[in-house]
Amino acid sequence: MVKRRKTHDSPKLGDPQSPALCSCKAVVDDSDNALQCDACENWFHIACVNVSPVAYSAYQTLADQKQFSNWFCPKCLDDKSVDRLPPRCLAALSARIDAIERETSNISRKQDQLVDRMDKLYE
Domain range annotation of the chain: 1-80, 86-122
Residue 2 has pLDDT above 80, yes or no: no
pTM of the prediction? 0.56
Residue 67 has pLDDT above 80, yes or no: no
Taking the C-alpha atoms of residue 95 and residue 81, their distance in angstroms, rounded to an integer, is 26
Residue 72 has pLDDT above 60, yes or no: yes
The residues pairing with 34 across neighbouring beta strands, listed in sequence order, are: 45
User: How open is the CA angle 55-33-12, to the nearest 5 degrees?
Assistant: 145
- pLDDT band at residue 1 under the 50/70/90 scheme: very low
Count Cβ neighbours within 10 Å for each residue of 106-119 and write b for 16 or more, e otherwise: eeeeeeeeeeeeee
Mean pLDDT of 61-72: 81
- pLDDT band at residue 106 under the 50/70/90 scheme: very high
Q: Tell me if the domain spanning 1-80 has CATH number 3.30.40.10.
A: yes
Would you tell me how many other CB atoms lie within 10 Å of the CB of residue 72?
18
31 close to 54: Cβ distance less than 8 angstroms: no
The reported pLDDT for the residue numbered 11 is 42
